[in-house]
Amino acid sequence: MINVFRKGWRPAAVLLLLFILWELSVNLAEVPAWLLPPPTDIIHEAVFGWDGFRPHLQSTVLLSLRGFAIGTFIGLLTAVILHLLPFIRESVYPLLILSQNVPIIVLAPLLVVWFGFGILPKLIVITLVCFFPITVAALDGFRQTPADLRHYMLMAGARRGQLFWKLELPHSLPSLFSGLKISATYSVMGAVISEWLGAKAGIGVYMTLASSSFRTDRVFVAILAIMLLSLLLFGGILLSERLLIKWKSRESGRK
């Protein structure tokens, strides 16, 4: 915890300086609030508009978490299948990479046409942006096992399943967590994008309403919320990584 403060004060100071500069220049140049509101306005809106904002935030948090969970599950499942069945890997993996070149913004309206405005198309969007980093990270972890450990396992008579559970899966955990961190941030982004398409509540909806009525301060509140949400998710994954991969954190702690 002390470490966080020691490392964190510099960026925090830079951020504070930036806000002061922003506040001063907006006031001096008399920029209208609908164009660029000063930070104090944004904070004011965040505090006093909280009751109106809360249901939107709640809905987005729920949506991101659900999507992230489904995306993680599907991403892991895909990785395991591709890893254990080389035949499928060779035929499907290139297509998977290709699928990532389709921009989600283009795909999303199509999903609405097919599945309507319910929760399903939204979950599909989030899953689509979430699963790929996890699949790639897990696959890398499965495949890049140290040669000497693999040789020992085989000499000792390990069967395919034992090789996977005792060597490949534990070895992939650090790599898997890097994938999870990327996906967590993506899941919030995916949730907001999917809400733009049409929803009853959510940060995406709140943002659309705010920008169409020139409430720029509210747009900034939404941006702030998205950033904090991503950060929180990221922190949660960092924490579970520390708890789960004890051998690694101690190792780097010694360096």
Partner 1 sequence: MIQLSVNSLSKSFDSIQVLSSLSFHVNKGEFVSVIGPSGSGKSTIFNLIGGMLLPDEGSIMLGEAEISGKRGSISYMPQTPSLMPWRTILQNVLLGQEIMGKTEPETARKMLQKAGLGGYENAFPHELSGGMKQRTAFIRALLSPQPIILLDEPFSALDELTRHDMQKWLLDIWNEHKPTILFVTHNIEEAIYLSDRILILGSKPAKVVQEYTVPFARPRMEEIFLDEKFLECKRSIHHALKELSFKSD
Binding mask 232-251 for partner 1 (x = CB under 8 A): -------------xxxx-xx
- Which of 79, 97, 91 lies closest to 137 in space, CA to CA? 79
Closer Cβ to partner 1, 7 or 151, answer by number:
151
Site for partner 1 in 130-149 (CB under 8 A): 148-149
Q: Read off the tokens for 225.
A: 């919320």
What's at 205, amino acid-wise?
Answer: V
191 SS3 class: helix
Q: Which of 36, 107, 158, 209 binds partner 1 (CB under 8 A)?
A: 158
Q: Which of 22, 170, 189, 196 binds partner 1 (CB under 8 A)?
A: 170
Min dist. Cβ of residue 169 to partner 1 (A): 10
- The total of other beta-carbon atoms located within 10 Å of residue 246's CB is 9
- Which of 55, 191, 69, 208 lies closest to 119 in space, CA to CA? 191
Closer Cβ to partner 1, 46 or 169, answer by number:
169
Q: Which of 35, 157, 160, 212 binds partner 1 (CB under 8 A)?
A: 157
Q: Which residues of 38-66 are buried (b: 16+ CB within 10 A; e: fewer)?
A: bbebbeebbeebeeebeebbebbbebbbb
Of the listed pieces 26-34, 59-67, 162-170, 210-218, which binds partner 1 according to CB under 8 A?
Answer: 162-170
Of the listed pieces 55-63, 87-95, 134-142, 170-178, which binds partner 1 according to CB under 8 A?
Answer: 170-178
Of the listed pieces 48-56, 59-67, 169-177, 197-205, which binds partner 1 according to CB under 8 A?
Answer: 169-177
42 SS3 class: helix
Min dist. Cβ of residue 171 to partner 1 (A): 8
Min dist. Cβ of residue 248 to partner 1 (A): 8
- Which of 89, 60, 18, 87 lies closest to 207 in space, CA to CA? 60
Min dist. Cβ of residue 89 to partner 1 (A): 24
Closer Cβ to partner 1, 104 or 158, answer by number:
158
Closer Cβ to partner 1, 58 or 240, answer by number:
240
Q: What is d(CA 11, CA 58) in angstroms, rounded to the nearest whole number?
A: 29
Taking the alpha carbons of 15, 19, 22, 25 in that order, is the dihedral positive or negative?
Answer: negative
CA angle centred on 128, ends 125 and 129, rounded to 5°: 90
- Which of 122, 121, 126, 99 lies closest to 189 in space, CA to CA? 126
Closer Cβ to partner 1, 52 or 146, answer by number:
146
Name the strand (E) or helix (H) holding 205: helix 203-212
Q: Kindly state whether residue 155 participates in binding partner 1, applying the rule CB under 8 A.
A: yes
Contact footprint for partner 1 (CB under 8 A) = 148-149, 151-158, 162, 166-167, 170-171, 173, 245-248, 250-251, 254
